[in-house]
Structure 1
Amino acid sequence: MYLFNVRVYGILLNESNEVLISDEKTQNVSFTKFPGGGLEYGEGLLDALKREFMEECALEIEIVKHIYTTDFYEKSSFNESQILSVYYQVRPLSAITFDVKVSPFDFSKEKQLDKVEVFRFVPIEKLRDEELTFKTDKKAWNVFKELIEP
């Protein structure tokens, strides 16, 4: 049996032209990605992305537009499933009230749970592919940059 893992992520820009990224640590592995997560059974992509932002950031979002859907094989880093990721540009519908870090992987004040996640904003012109852990995020970021360049 072949397992598929459908993921949905949001690329959020603030008023200062900075992009929101998430630094996470789970199963003793640290990684940087865009906010979002897995689709639950019976859920649509847009509803899943809105739920993920509420769960992770306590932030209501609006979907602006589709950016990218995985078009290559990607095996999960955590199990034997094949990853299918969909990326959307999103915008906040309310003020950002969650804690925003400055340094990568600043888990200093976070409870040491099985999974810990912190957020930071990075200026668009300074976010490089190498800072993103997963191949799908890197590809989506490059597609997004091409869409916003004049």
Structure 2
Amino acid sequence: MNWQRHIGVYGICHDPATKKLCVIQKKGGPYDGMYDLPGGSLESNETLEEALKREFVEETGYQIEVVRSIGTADFLVEESKRNRCVHHIALYYEVLVKEGQARELPKKVSADSQVKPNDSGGVYWLDPSEASTVPLSPLVQKALDWLASGDLGVEAGSYSM
């Protein structure tokens, strides 16, 4: 089994009135077909905040304001189809959507001088009561835990895809 490490920044954006969480429909990677948090990898010469803002626009169309750092969580994700295990390290931030309309999602995005298809199939506002009925990435599960308890915890999660 091949091992890889992935470090990414992710935004927890929720509506306090409805308790709904902003998620995306993932198109690719280990979380393909699942609801996932907006966010992802840093590009060259990009700060954590810049990466998070860019990823949010690319994946949701929303401009955001970063409120605060929440913490870090990690997951061991075994992808048997690809014969690999990914140590996914996630840096979580609480974010707010800025006023105004969302932009249309780009079909392609650039990443360090490479153009690739957008891995977001669109934005969805997830009601926590739906959590047991839809496929969720480990990042969304951890975000829902944080919204319920105010704590990310310290244990690494293990998942098979």
**TM score, norm. by length of structure 1:** 0.68
Distance (Å, rounded) in 1 between the aligned partners of 2:118 and 2:61: 20
* Percent identity of paired positions between Structure 1 and Structure 2: 23
Aligned to 2:93: 88
Q: Pick from 19, 40, 64: which aligns with 2:43?
A: 40
Aligned to 2:7: 6
Give the paired residue count: 133
**Which protein is richer in strand relative to its size?**
2
For residues 89-145 of structure 1, the C-alpha deviation after alignment (integer angstroms, 9 at most, x for no partner) is: 11012324357xxxxxxxxxxxxx78451111133x424266353223312320222
C-alpha deviation, 1:53, in angstroms: 1.0
CA RMSD of aligned residues (A): 3.2
Runs of 4+ with >4 A deviation: 76-80, 113-116
Secondary structure at the counterpart of residue 59 of structure 1: coil
Aligned to 1:74: 76
| Consecutive unaligned residues in structure 2, runs of 5 or more | 105-116, 152-161
Secondary structure at the counterpart of residue 66 of structure 1: strand
* 1:122 and 2:126 matched: yes
Distance (Å, rounded) in 1 between the aligned partners of 2:78 and 2:41: 12
Please show how residues 96-111 of structure 1 align to structure 2 within 5 Å: 96-98=101-103
**TM score, norm. by length of structure 2:** 0.65
